Amino acid sequence: MRITMIGSGYVGLVSGACFADFGHEVTCVDLDAEKISSLKAGQIPIFEPGLETLVATNAASGRLCFTTDLTAAVGIADVVFLAVGTPSRRGDGHADLSYVYAAAADIARAVQGFTVIVTKSTVPVGTGDEVERIVRSVNPHADVVVVSNPEFLREGAAIEDFKRPDRIVIGLDDERARAIMDEVYRPLYLNQAPIMYTGRRTAELIKYAGNAFLAMKITFINEVADLCEKTGGNVQDVARGIGLDKRIGSKFLNAGPGYGGSCFPKDTLALVKTGQDHDTPLRLVEATVAINAQRKRSMGRKVIAACGGDVRGKQIGILGLTFKPNTDDMRDAPSIAVIQTLIDAGAKVKAFDPEGMEIAKTMISGIDYAEDAYDAAADADCLVLITEWNAFRSLDLERLKSVMAKPSMVDLRNVYRGADLEAAGFDYSSVGRPAAATMSERSDEAAE
């Protein structure tokens, strides 16, 4: 199967490399000539475990190639995937579909013979209809079928998610596309991956509804954590107690500083706007968006409270900047709001992240960046753990204590046991737990 992937960002690159690994011939297209040159040279523009090796292996085999020539790549394709960005539109929060629509017009001009156009980008309901309208308008003779095939990739585990998915959702209104899509995903039949065929608009809604529901679970347990702090409960025990109910499940019930990343913030906001446009307001999702935004700043205030209510002139060490571990993605990361709150209160901040610092330097100004966790802790009045990288899970507490001005830690991911930190001589606070919580570590589950 000859596949062309329009867009070589996170979704396009991971999907293209995985399809090539299935044995398909894949061409990844991007208008950014510098990005394409880097990819041809084996340089991966994002951090994703296993991706560099996967790209190199399939590029060497000839199954995966990169180009800026959309016309040639589309002309030979059996299937063209749209994997361009759909960021939140400035000013109103709607999904910005300009890249999707521009790509649809370009595809229409270049398509030859029967071709399936697949929207992989996360798009609001009805976008597939507009893509089809654009294609028909630009090229009335184009023999195409437009399909929705949303992605469900977790950053940091994207390759595993692609090859062993919970489900594959394919939305189509023209049965001619079914045989083609069956062939695209045929290798996954060996893994017994459930493939769900539905209408195109339904598939578009599934993506948004899924992300919004997970975001609501995170926000719910964060509010329960606040209640636990006021009443002396332990949010980790509460989460375990309700998560054992199979109707609820244990995932996405880890209390923390709020969700971030490339999906949940923009997708929940876009779903809110879609509901408003259709006069069906989604009040639960609206509340989720508002509460999550407030929570990130409140975590900064939590740090200030742990420092006696005043951080002016104090040194604060930050462990973790990315919105989750195993990625360099800083988009809507809770660390941004936490750090800004501390800076606004007069604190001096020094931060370390294993992968996110170069991107963070373009987004967060007025702070210093450390060489490692212990450098971030040096002379600090308080150390704040924001992202639960494995490198932060077994820190040498005696060493930390020896380099800090004051042995104090605020653990926003509940990585450590309060009793262990207090036994080591630390002032310790976490999220939704008693000061000396003795329960086991939180799970290694990723946030998305």
Give the C-alpha separation, 51 to 446, whole Å.
Answer: 18
Express each pLDDT in 354-402 by its tens digit: 999 999 999 999 999 999 999 999 999 999 999 999 999 999 999 999 9
Q: State the pLDDT confidence band at 327, using cuts at 50, 70 and 90.
A: very high
Q: Among 65, 228, 263, 382, which one carries the catalytic annotation?
A: 263
Q: Does pLDDT of 448 surpass 60?
A: no
**What are the tokens at 69?**
């020539």
Residue range 54-61: mean pLDDT, rounded: 97
Residue range 56-80: mean pLDDT, rounded: 98
For the chain, which domains are there?
2-198 (3.40.50.720), 242-429 (3.40.50.720)
CB 28 within 8 A of CB 12: yes
Residue range 45-67: mean pLDDT, rounded: 97
434 or 306: whose pLDDT is higher?
306
Residue range 156-164: mean pLDDT, rounded: 95
The pLDDT > 90 percentage for the chain reads 94
If we measure between CA atoms, which residue out of 381, 444, 442, 384 comes closest to residue 412? Answer: 384
Residue range 316-340: mean pLDDT, rounded: 97
Q: Which residue, chain included where needed, has tokens 């030859």?
A: 112
Active site residue 228: no
Q: Does pLDDT of 319 surpass 90?
A: yes
Size (the chain), residues: 448
Residue range 193-217: mean pLDDT, rounded: 96
pLDDT of residue 436: 56
Q: State the pLDDT confidence band at 92, using cuts at 50, 70 and 90.
A: confident
* Cβ partners under 8 Å of residue 379, min gap 6: 315, 403, 404, 405
Residue range 103-119: mean pLDDT, rounded: 98
Q: Which runs of consecutive H residues, i.e. helices, occur in 88-141?
A: 98-110, 127-138
Half-sphere exposure for 38 (CA within 13 Å, toward CB): 14
Give the C-alpha separation, 71 to 374, whole Å.
Answer: 52
Q: What are the distances in angstroms from CA 398 to CA 129, 381, 421, 426, 429?
A: 61, 15, 10, 10, 18
- Crossing angle between the packed helical segments 283-306 and 264-277, to the nearest 10 degrees: 140
Q: Does pLDDT of 104 surpass 80?
A: yes
Mean pLDDT of the chain: 95
